[in-house]
Structure 1
Amino acid sequence: MGIVTLGAGAVFPLHRTMTLDTILILEGVMELHLDSGEMKVVKAGDTIVQRGTMHMWKNVTPEGGKVRMVAVAQPIAGPIEVGGKKLETEWRV
């Protein structure tokens, strides 16, 4: 568990971790982008739960504000398979 802070306009690149993530947005506004092209805006008070999802974060807080979130990442028991393909940790920069 940890607190993550993203500065004004910060982008956390497209990535996947082999964890079950529970994230509570404490402050600010972010865009959550998925590799499918889907995008959701999340803000203070919102909770996100994801498992092995390819995603990226973008801080879109007005007036150059920061984003703060509490993140809890739990290891996943066993591999995740989608369409017969085993997923692995991945970063796209």
Structure 2
Amino acid sequence: MSEWVSELAGRLIVGRKRDGRCVYDAQAKQELIEACGRPGISMAKLARDCGINANLLNTWVRKHERKTVVLAAPAAVEPEGAAPAFV
């Protein structure tokens, strides 16, 4: 395990809730998501090295991708006075 992954793993989990679920640091979580986008990086190995489930990491990455697609999509603008397609 490389040095930056072990450092990231140490910062990722900051606590636990009463029901046993983990509380994650937002900055470390964002760094982990960005690391998954690098070429040659295995999501499953990265998750295992950080001590989290690969399915959880995959969910974080998909949510991040959806959020960036929604932010990047231009809003549809209708010209004024245009009639709707269906009446």
> TM-score under structure 1 normalisation?
0.23
Instruction: Name which structure has the greater RCO, CA cutoff 8 Å, separation 6+.
Output: 1
Tell me which protein shows more strand as a share of its residues.
1
Q: Which protein is richer in helix relative to its size?
A: 2
